[in-house]
Every structure is written in C-alpha cells, then in structure tokens.
Amino acid sequence: MSKAKILVTGGAGYIGSHVVAQLLEAGEEVVVLDNLSTGFREAVLGGELIIGDVGDTELVSNLLRQYPIDTVMHFAARTIVPESVSDPLRYYATNTGATRNLLACCARADIRHIVFSSTAAVYGVPQGGHACEETPTNPINPYGTSKLMSEWMLRDLAASCAMRYVALRYFNVAGCDGRGRIGQSTAKATLLMKVAAEAAIGVRPHVAIYGTDYPTADGTGVRDYIHVDDLAAAHLAALAYLRDGGASAVLNAGYGHGYSVREVLSAMSRAHGQSIPVLEQDRRAGDPPELIARCARIRDTLGWIPRLDDLDLIARSALAWEKRLAARRAS
C-alpha cells in the first residue's frame, strides 16, 4: 500500500515553504500545488511541485485521484490587507471562492484531514487587545472576512461528513528558516520585521511607524510576533493530532505576549549594529492599539511547545535572510 501523501497548497510561499521543509524532514511525502504568483519555485525544497491554481477543480480532482493523499494543508491565498481593501473581489475570489472549490474536491475524494491557514485578522479590533478563540470575530477588512468565510465553510462541511480540520489563526509571523534556506521573499511585503530588515540594508529608505499616540507603553502598536519555524511546527503538530483522531479545532497561533513597533525596530537595530531610519506617520484606520493571542488552547490541544520565542533571534534571522536576498540580486 502506498504511503499517504500530503497536498500543500501555496507550498512555495513564505509560510507554506517552511511547513513543506519540516514535513520533508519528518519523512512525509509531499505534493505542492502553487501557481507561483507570489511563491517561488526555489523555496520548495523537495517533494513534487505542481504549477496550477487551487481553484481549478479539474486539476485538484485529478491530483486527489492520482496521489494517495490523506491530508490537505491549505495556504494558498492573498494576504496583503491594504490590497484587500482596494480590490476586495480579488480576495473573495482567491481566498474564499478558491477554498470553496478545493473543499468540494476534498469532499468528493473523501479527504479526512485539512489544516487551514487562517489569521488573527478575523478578530478585527478585540476589546482589551487580547483574543482567545471565543473572542467574537469581527474582521475590519476583506482579507480577514475572506478567511473567516473559509473557516465557516470548513466548519459546515465537517459537520456534514467525516472530514476533520484544524484552522490555525496566525498572529504576526516573522523570521526565516534556521538553516537559512528559505525566508520571506515576497515583493512589497508589509510585515513589520521584513520591512525593518529591508530598511536596515537599504532596500527601503525607511520604516514607517503608523501612530505614536496609542495607549501603550511607548505610544506605538503592540503585536504578538511568532517565528515562522515555530508556526510551521504547529502545523506538523496539527497533522499528528488529526491523524490520531483529534476533533476539529480552531486554534490561535501566537506566543501570548507582544512587542511594540519601537521594540521591534530596536531589535532590528541591534541585529544590524546601527539604527534604522524611521518615519513617524499618523495612525492607519482600523489598526488596534494591541493584538495579542490567548494561546493556551493550542499548547493544550496539540502539545505544541514553541522553541524560538526570542525577539532578537527573530530579528537576526530576518536580517540574515534579507542579506542573502540582496546577495542573490547582486550576483
């Protein structure tokens, strides 16, 4: 009997590629489906790469017939919040519509396990700045709404059949693979740690701080930053949990504490050995002063223990990756 394989959609992207790397190291057999619109062929370190769209039902159905797949890990999505505001229908088509098509294919193929890449953006602006899984969902942009709608589809599909799922609501993902093989390569990225690393090496002229008058210790917004390798490990823990018969679950993926924008920039300055140019600007509409995960459930449910909860380590890894990208561009 053939060994079960895992289909990873969006496995050439930032987070997906880190999960693929860890799956391969764990001895799993992986098939990656990615259209390479925002992902990179070289980020897929093994397995089989299929170029195509997750919303292509004929292609996905053929893959699910061709390979002995027991689990789908679904990362394929667009993730830039400002872009979702300016082009909402693209996000509903790519994130929600394509997920609906994928789930239909999974249901027909009797796929039993799905691990879904969700987001803390489903919470919007939670009262008090902290969010547990029971915190009311109230997204304030189409990106968050498109992901929440996908969660609803998963919930309702799982209630109608034997499929079980884990949806991981990511907080702020940062850093790169500890061995320096892959990292955040997306052009025009908006993740603060990535932007700070680009400013450190001169790819960007400065880092913008949006709002310095929040009711926080230093006046700047506070977020929960999680190292991408720890986040990837949570996906492998979710896989083991589902294969062991675990019930469907929605889980926050964060560390449970936050750092301000200024603290992140200070960490990057320490990694770089000198200060980073900063431009202070007005608040952006809808940005909460503070957004931190209540994350006891993921640890209790999956037995997940983060290993890289260190802001300076995250900053050093992000900067090291940015320097590698710059060297590649120069060669």
Catalytic residue among 14, 123, 143, 255: 143
Residue type, 201: I
Q: In this structure, what token pair is assigned to residue 253?
A: 């993926």
Give 131's contacts (C-beta < 8 A, 6+ positions apart).
Answer: 120, 123, 252, 291, 292, 293, 294
Report the alpha-carbon distance of residue 81 to residue 86 in Å, rounded.
9
Give the Å distances, CA to CA, from 275 to 195, 207, 272.
14, 11, 8
Q: In this structure, what token pair is assigned to residue 82?
A: 């400002």
Report the alpha-carbon distance of residue 278 to residue 131 in Å, rounded.
29
For β-strands 69-74 and 172-174, DSSP reports them as unpaired
123 among known catalytic residues: no
Q: Where are the beta strands (DSSP E) in 123-191?
A: 130-131, 164-170, 172-174
Q: Where are the beta strands (DSSP E) in 235-302?
A: 249-253, 259-260, 278-281, 290-293
CB 15 within 8 Å of CB 173: yes
Residue type, 155: R
Largest CA distance in the chain: 62
Q: Which residues are catalytic?
A: 143
